[in-house]
């Protein structure tokens, strides 16, 4: 897959439990359903999606490093690492493509520790609080930003 045609979708800790973990905040869709939805949306724009999910921070960092050579864009839901991982922040900072942070719930409407994102300063933008629809919005943002002047072409 050409770097110009791929989005890396990164799913952090505990997202493998979607569909069964706290549906009040995260809904009932499974991670597999969300990934498939994201793939369909991206395919409609001529982009492929490679997905990596891990509960280990180091695996996510390695995936971001590898994406520097393979992907034009990255969509990330880092889960709780959003609020604590400066290492993931640094890895994302080194990725030159489009980066969109996604959250199923609205962290600003939840516990105080969720109000800070260590990733916000190194991503193009954040989509939060729209459930699985947020992934559609993230793909749309990637497509728009890839076509914007000064951004890598799709």
Catalytic-residue membership of 135: no
CA 8/CA 29 separation, integer angstroms: 20
Catalytic residue (choose from 25, 26, 65, 135): 26
Out of 25, 103, 115, 135, the active site residue is: 103
Give the torsion sign (CA, 95, 47, 79, 130): positive
Calculate the alpha carbon distances from 102 to 56, 65, 149 in Å: 18, 19, 24
**Residue 26 is a catalytic residue:** yes
Exposure of 78 in the CB half-sphere (CA atoms within 13 A)? 31
- Which residues are known catalytic residues? 26, 103
């Amino acid at each position: 897959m050409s770097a110009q045609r791929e989005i890396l979708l990164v799913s952090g800790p505990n997202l493998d439990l979607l569909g069964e973990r706290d549906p009040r905040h995260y809904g009932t869709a499974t991670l597999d359903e969300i990934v498939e939805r994201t793939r369909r949306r991206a395919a409609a724009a001529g982009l492929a999606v490679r997905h990596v999910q891990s509960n280990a921070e180091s695996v996510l960092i390695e995936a971001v490093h590898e994406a520097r050579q393979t992907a034009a864009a990255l969509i990330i839901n880092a889960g709780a690492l959003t609020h604590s991982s400066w290492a993931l922040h640094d890895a994302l900072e080194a990725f030159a493509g489009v980066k969109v942070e996604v959250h199923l719930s609205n962290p600003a409407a939840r516990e105080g520790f969720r109000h800070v994102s260590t990733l916000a300063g190194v991503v193009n933008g954040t989509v939060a609080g729209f459930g699985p629809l947020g992934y559609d919005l993230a793909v749309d943002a990637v497509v728009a930003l890839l076509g914007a002047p000064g951004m890598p072409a799709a």
